[in-house]
Amino acid sequence: MKKLFIHNIIVAIIAIFVFVGCSKNPDVVYYNGKIYTLDDKNTIAEAIAVKDGKILSVGTNKEIKDNYSDVKSIDLEGKCVLPGFIDAEGSITHYAENLSTILLEKYNSTEELGKIIEEYCKKFNKDVWIKVYFFGKYESNDDSIANLDKSKLDVFAPDHNVYVMNREGSMAVLNSKALNTLKLKPDLLPDGIEAGLDENDELDGWITGDVRDYFSKRINSYSRETMASLLEIASKEILKWGIVEVRDRNLTKESINIIRNLIDSNKFTIKIYAIISYEYDLINEFLAKGIEKDYKGKLSVRAVSIDVDGAFEFKLAEMFDKYKDSPNFAPAFKTEEDVDDLLNKAFKSEFQVNIKAVGDKAVNMSLNSLEKHLKQQNYENHRTVLENVQFIKQNDLKRIKELKVIPSIRPEVCIDDAYILSRLIDSSLINNLGLWKSLLNNSGYIVAGSDFPFENRTINPLIQIFYLTMRKDIDDKSNERINPSECLSIEEAIKAYTIWAAYACFDEEYRGSLEKGKYADFIVLSDDIFNIKPESLLNVKVLKTIINGTVMFESK
C-alpha cells in the first residue's frame, strides 16, 4: 500500500512537471524578422514567441528555436516588424458610417460604375446607404453622372439606398429605393430641393439644390443593429493601416455599449480608448461610475475632453496675435472656469483630462488652469494631454515640462495650415507653428493622431510619420521644409505612434513595445522604415497586422 502511494505521488509530480512544461510552450512563434522592439535599449530581435495572446519571449532565431520546438511557426521573411500603431485621435463611429462612401475621380463607363456599386452592396446589409461622391467633369460623356437616372441605379442596386452626388453637393441622382426611403414625391418636395421628372411626371431620380445639406440631415442615423455591423467591419478595416488602438473622443454611451457587446461576441478586433466629451450630457454619469480599465483587453473608458478653441484654418484658434482680416481676436469656445470645472471633476474621479488647445492663447489659458489645480490636488500621475497643439509661446514650453503635460499633435492638419498661414496671420510667425521637437524635448513624450475621418484626413500612420519627419506636404516636390529644426527623427515619429502613445493611455505596461508580458500586437511592413529615405515612406505597405499573436490582416 505504501509503495502504491509513493508511486502515485511520483506519477502526480511527473504529471505536474509535464503540464507546467507544456503550459510554457508558446502557441505560435514568429521568426526570421527584423523586429524593432522599442524597449528601453531599442533592441532589435529576430523572433517572438506568443502564449495566450501575450509575448512569452523575444530573441534571436536560435534562442527561440532552441527553447521551443514542435510549435506552429510563421516566417517573417526578413521583414521589418514594429509594435502596432496607436492613433491619438480618430472616430471609429464616423469611420464606420463612412465605410459605404465611394469617392470617385473618374470612371470609364456606366457599367464600370455599376460594378463598383454592386461590390459595395455585397459588403453591407440593406439598411446601409451606398453614397457615391463623384469628382469628374459633368460635361464629358462616359466619365460623367449626366448619363445616370434611377432606372440604371436600380439595376446596380435594387435593394440598397444609393445616391451619386457631384463635388459641389448641388445635384444628385438616386435609385428608387432611396426615393422611397426619403419619401420624395413630385408634389411634395422639401424647401431648397428641386426634382427632375420623366415622361410620366414621375421622379426620374435627379434632385438639385442644397443636396449635401439635405442628405446630411436625413441619412446619418442607423439602427443599433446596423451600427453594430458597421463597427465590426470598421474594426477590421482599420487593421490594414497597422492600427491596433484608437483614442476616440467622439463616443457616446450607446456607441460604447455597442462596442462592448461586439467585444463580448469576439467581433471587435482593435482596442478603443474612450474619451468622453465635456459637451456630452452624460459626462457626469461616466465620472460617477468611475474609470473602466482594459475591458477584455479591448476597451478603456478613463478620460474626458474639452475643446478650448478650434481649427486655425477657420480662424477659430485663440491666438495672442490678431488674424489679418479680423478686427477682433478669435474668442475661445470655453472659459478658464469651464476648464477648472472639468479638471476638478475629473481629478476627483481619477479620469485623465484631454484639453484641445490649438492657438497659443488657448494653450496658455489651459496651462494656467492645470497649474492651479495641480497645486491644489498634487495629482502626480495625471498625464493630462494637450491636444492639437499648433502654437505655443516659449514660456509655456517650459511649463509643459514642469506640469508633466503630454502634447498631442495632428501632423497633417499642421502641415496643411502651414501653406495658408501667411493669408491668416503675419508670415513671420511661421516659425511658431508646430514646435514638435521643442514639445518633445520639454515633455519627454509626444503623441500623434490623424483625426480620421474628419475633413478626409489621412488615416495611414506611415503618411503621418512622413509629415513628422519631413514637415512638408506629400505633393510638395521642393527640397524646402517648414521650420526644419522642428522635424522629428524616424525613431521619435514611430514612438509617437507606439510606446509614447501607449503611455498617454496609461497602457505602457501592456502595449507600445514588444517585450515579454505585453500583448502580442505588432505589424509587418514591406520595407525597413529605419533604413530608407523619408520620401519612400509613402510607398511602404502594411503586410500583416497581428493582434494577440494572431494574424488579423494580411495584404493580398
For residue 167, the domain's CATH number is 3.10.310.70
Do 462 and 386 fall within a single domain? yes
Question: Is residue 448 assigned to a domain?
Answer: yes
Alpha carbons within 13 A on the beta-carbon side of 106: 7
Residues 6+ apart with CB under 8 A from 138: 144, 145, 146, 166
Question: Are residues 252 and 202 part of one domain?
Answer: no
Regarding whether 243 and 189 lie in a shared domain, the answer is no
Name the domain boundary from 174, 190, 218.
218
Measured distance CA(109)–CA(173) in Å, rounded: 16
Same domain, 440 and 294: yes
> For the chain, what is the total number of helices (H) and then of strands (E)?
19, 25
Assign residue 28 the CATH number of its domain.
Answer: 2.30.40.10
Distances (CA, A) of 17 to 7, 40, 67, 81: 16, 34, 16, 34
Dihedral, CA of residue 343, residue 346, residue 350 and residue 352, to nearest 10: -70
- From first to last of the 556 residues of the chain, give the pLDDT tens digit: 444 444 444 444 433 333 334 447 999 999 999 999 999 999 999 999 999 999 999 999 999 989 998 899 999 999 999 999 999 999 999 999 999 999 888 888 889 999 999 999 999 999 999 999 987 654 444 457 778 889 999 999 999 999 999 888 899 999 999 999 999 888 888 888 999 998 888 899 999 999 988 888 888 678 999 999 999 999 999 999 999 999 999 999 999 999 999 999 999 999 999 999 999 999 999 999 999 999 999 999 999 999 999 999 999 999 998 898 876 667 789 999 999 999 999 999 999 999 999 999 999 999 999 999 998 877 889 999 999 999 999 999 999 999 999 999 999 999 999 999 999 998 888 889 999 999 999 999 999 999 999 877 899 999 999 999 999 999 998 888 888 999 999 999 999 999 999 999 999 999 999 999 999 999 999 999 999 998 899 999 999 999 999 999 999 8
Spatial separation of the C-alpha atoms in residues 259 and 273, rounded to whole Å = 11
Tell me if 113 is assigned to some domain.
no
Same domain, 139 and 263: no
pLDDT of residue 207: 93
Helix (H) or strand (E) holding 422: helix 421-424
Give the chain's domain count: 3
Nearest to 164, CA basis, from 100, 219, 97, 102: 102
CATH code of the domain in which 477 resides: 3.20.20.140
427 domain residue, yes or no: yes
Strand, coil or helix: 42: coil
Strands 80-83 and 522-525: antiparallel
CA 118 to chain centre: 28
Assigned domain for 230 exists: yes
User: Could you tell me if 263 and 326 lie in one domain?
Assistant: yes
* 311 alpha carbon, distance to own chain's centre: 18
C-alpha cell at position 112: 464600370
User: Are the C-beta atoms of residues 211 and 165 closer than 8 Å to each other?
Assistant: yes
User: Distance (Å, rounded) from C-alpha 261 to C-alpha 117?
Assistant: 30
| Alpha-carbon torsion, ordered 237, 241, 244, 248, to 10 deg | -80
First and final CA of the chain: distance in angstroms?
65
Asked if the peptide bond before residue 453 counts as cis, ω within 30 degrees of 0, the response is yes
Q: What is the pLDDT of residue 64?
A: 95
Tell me if 58 is assigned to some domain. Answer: yes
Nearest-Å Rg of the Cα atoms of the chain is 27
Give the residue from 11, 43, 78 where a domain finishes. Answer: 78
Q: How many CB atoms lie within 10 A of CB 100?
A: 20
Question: In whole angstroms, how far apart are CA 496 and each of 84, 446, 462, 465?
Answer: 12, 6, 12, 9
CA distance 338 to 490: 38
Task: Give domain status of residue 88, yes or no.
Answer: no
Instruction: Give dist(CA 499, CA 83) in Å, integer.
Output: 8
* 475 and 382, same domain (yes or no): yes
190 with 323, same domain? no
What is the SS3 assignment for 485? Answer: helix
Q: Does some domain include residue 107?
A: no
- Same domain as 387, residue 341: yes
**Residue length, the chain?**
556
pLDDT of residue 221: 77
pTM: 0.90
308: containing domain: 224-554
Within 10 angstroms of residue 535's Cβ, the number of other Cβ atoms is 12
The label of the residue with cell 441605379 reads: 153
Same domain, yes or no, for 493 and 428? yes
Which of 194, 218, 242 finishes a domain?
Answer: 218
DSSP letter assigned to residue 508: T
Shared-domain flag, residues 523 and 444: yes
Is residue 260 domain-shared with residue 317, that is, in the same domain? yes
The 3-class SS string of 312-353 reads CCCCCCCCCCCCCCCCCCCCCCCCHHHHHHHHHHHHHCCCEE
In a domain, 91, yes or no: no
- The residues near 35 (Cβ < 8 Å, ≥ 6 apart) are 44, 45, 46, 47, 48, 58, 76, 81, 514, 522
